Amino acid sequence: MANKDFDSFSAMINNYFQNDYRERGKVKWQGYFLSDHTSALKKESRKHEQVTQRLPRMSLDKIMHVLIRANANYLFVTVQQDIQDVQGNLLMNSTGMISSINDLGFFIDDDYYEYETIRAVKIEN
């Protein structure tokens, strides 16, 4: 008898979820977004909409000279890579202190840059 009651209850539940239940989808989850999360999403969106101003192209010797000077004097630099997105805009400039230099490139914090990808470098005041 108990098995028969369980089967009818199970059939009723299955019928409800297959025919009557309506998933609210996105509406259900919107309450979980915190204000700082939505502001971070807006900030990220604005960052992608910004167009990087092109700095004058520098020669490799000039780039290396500026980087060596900045590294020796613990100065912050702004690096502009010569890499474009699909719309033809340059990637965002990176600013930081040089942590390491070698023959092929350099590190700013934890990011590695190869000399051949650099368009321009400037020392920040």
Question: Helical H runs in the chain?
Answer: 2-15, 26-29, 35-49, 60-72
Based on C-alpha coordinates, what's the Rg of the chain? Answer: 28
- Alpha-carbon gap, residue 111 to 101, rounded angstroms: 12
Q: Are 54 and 95 a contacting pair, CB within 8 Å?
A: no
Query: What pLDDT does 48 receive?
Result: 63
pLDDT digits over 35-69, tens only? 777 788 787 777 666 677 889 999 999 999 999 99
- Banded pLDDT at 21 (limits 50, 70, 90): confident
Query: What pLDDT does 100 receive?
Result: 92
pLDDT digits over 78-108, tens only? 999 998 888 888 888 999 999 999 999 999 9
Task: List the domains of the chain with CATH numbers.
Answer: 2-49 (no CATH), 60-123 (2.30.30)
Query: What pLDDT does 95 receive?
Result: 93
Q: What is the pTM of this model?
A: 0.59
Q: In what order do the strands lie in the sheet with 94-101?
A: 111-114, 105-108, 94-101, 76-81, 118-123
DSSP category for residue 48: H
Q: Are 100 and 107 a contacting pair, CB within 8 Å?
A: yes
DSSP category for residue 102: -
Query: What pLDDT does 91 receive?
Result: 85
DSSP category for residue 53: P
